[in-house]
Every structure is written in C-alpha cells, then in structure tokens.
C-alpha cells in the first residue's frame, strides 16, 4: 500500500474545517488554566535583600594580603549561606514576627545565594502576602549578621539593600497560566484536526481503490 500523506494545503484545509473545535479547545483550556492558577495556586510574592561580607585586610595595599583577604571573604560568604538557613538564625528572625513562629515555618520560604563569585549575598523570602514576605526578609537581615559573626568570630557583615515591598507576584500569574494553557490545548486540538484529516484522506483513497477494483472486475466479466 502506498504511503498516504497530507500536502500543506490539505493540512491547512483540515484544520480550517475544524477551526471552531480548535478555538473552543483553546478557550476552555485558557479558562481552566486561569481558574487553576487563580483559585488553587495563589500567587507568591518574593522580597529580596542583600548582605556584603568582608575580611580585614581586603583593602590593604599589599597585593598578597588583599588577595588572601578576598579569598577568605569568599569562603566566609559560603559559610554564611549555610548559617542563614540554620535554626538559630531563623529562630531569631521568627521571634521578631510572632512568638509561635519557628525556624521550620520559615525555612521553606527562605532562599540565599552568592551573587556570582563575589562576597555579596542575596536573601529572598517568598510568601502569599507581600507585606509578610518583606517583614520576614528584613527580620533576617536585622538578626543574621550579629548571630553569624558570633558563630564565626571573624569578618564583617553589612546590609547592602533592605527588602522592599514587592508589587508584582512571581510568575505565573493567572493570565500567564491562561495563555499557556490556551496555547497547549489549541495546539493539541490542531494536531487532532490534522490527524482527522489524514484519516479521512486514507479512507477516501481506500474507497477509490475499492471502486477501481470493482469497476475493473465488472469490465473483465463483460469481456468474458
């Protein structure tokens, strides 16, 4: 049996013939994505602040001393990343907000990272309420430097930027989710329409072949 394929024109015609189903699928998918994100996946707001870690000697005129101090500061910054998510540091921040708040409550909301290969640290807190996220981030910025220095007994930690109230929620927003869901369902419906067009063409070719065979058989019978 010969391979059956659709030409670009036939493919476009198959989709256009079922365009109303494609559009309906896209609309329903968009509505589902919007409702899912709006009611079951509430948006998260992230407040971010930053710290700077330094070691005495980093400003020295001696290149060797400055290089050693810089290396030590970078190592201290990595140590700070671990301590920023420790029970002791998070408990101190939690106590500033609510007596019943614990480190276990804050840990899933908090993330910290080094800004490249520098001695700067970024601290982010995500929460459904933007004001709560800001308060948590600033509480960590207020309590973490002194507590970390109490543990490591060296260096200096300074607050560079305090967290500000986030205005926009983290992606995806309900409208982003609706657009993504509409594209996915619309594309899937388009593939289904193309597949339906392919099946119709294959059935049409099969009917033509059966008709040819029948006509050929009738012609041979008359000839006999």
User: Which burial class, exposed, middle or buried, applies to 217 when counting CB atoms under 10 A from its CB (0-12, 13-18, 19+)?
Assistant: exposed
Query: Which range has the top average pLDDT, 13-27, 43-57, 132-146?
Result: 132-146
Residues 6+ apart with CB under 8 A from 158: 51, 52, 54, 145
Structure tokens at 46: 């992230």
Domain ranges of the chain: 8-40+172-219, 45-161
DSSP 61: S
For residues 196 and 50, what is the distance between their CA atoms, to the nearest angstrom?
Answer: 57
Ramachandran quadrant class, 56 (left: phi over 0; alpha: psi -120 to 50; beta: rest): beta
Whether the per-residue pLDDT at 38 is higher than 90: the answer is: no
Give the mean model confidence (pLDDT) for residues 32-42. 83
The tokens 């388009």 sit on which residue? 190
Q: Give the pLDDT confidence of 79-121 residue by residue, as tens digits.
A: 888 888 888 889 888 888 777 788 888 888 999 988 877 788 9
Query: What 3 state SS string does 162-184 have?
Result: CCCCCCCCCCCCHHHHHHHHHHH
For the domain 45-161, what is the CATH superfamily, name and number? EIF_2_alpha (3.30.70.1130)
Give the mean model confidence (pLDDT) for residues 145-158. 87
**What's the confidence (pLDDT) of residue 66?**
62
């Amino acid at each position: 049996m010969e391979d059956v394929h659709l030409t670009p024109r036939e493919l476009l015609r198959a989709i256009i013939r079922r365009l109303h189903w494609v559009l309906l699928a896209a609309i329903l998918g968009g509505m589902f994505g919007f409702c899912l994100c709006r009611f079951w996946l509430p948006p998260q707001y992230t407040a971010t602040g930053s710290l700077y870690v330094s070691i005495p000697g980093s400003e020295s005129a001696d290149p060797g001393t400055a290089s050693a101090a810089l290396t030590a500061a970078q190592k201290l910054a990595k140590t700070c990343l671990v301590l920023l998510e420790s029970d002791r540091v998070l408990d101190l921040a939690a106590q500033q907000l609510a007596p019943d708040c614990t480190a276990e409550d804050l840990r899933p909301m908090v993330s910290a990272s080094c800004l490249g290969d520098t001695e700067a640290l970024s601290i982010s807190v995500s929460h459904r309420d933007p004001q709560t996220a800001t308060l948590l981030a600033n509480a960590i910025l207020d309590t973490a430097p002194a507590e970390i220095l109490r543990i490591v007994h060296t260096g200096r930690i300074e607050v560079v930027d305090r967290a500000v109230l986030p205005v926009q929620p983290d992606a995806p927003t309900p409208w982003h989710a609706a657009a993504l869901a509409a594209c996915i369902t619309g594309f899937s419906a388009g593939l289904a329409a193309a597949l339906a067009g392919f099946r119709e063409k294959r059935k049409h070719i099969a009917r033509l072949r059966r008709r040819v065979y029948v006509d050929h058989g009738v012609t041979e019978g008359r000839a006999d």
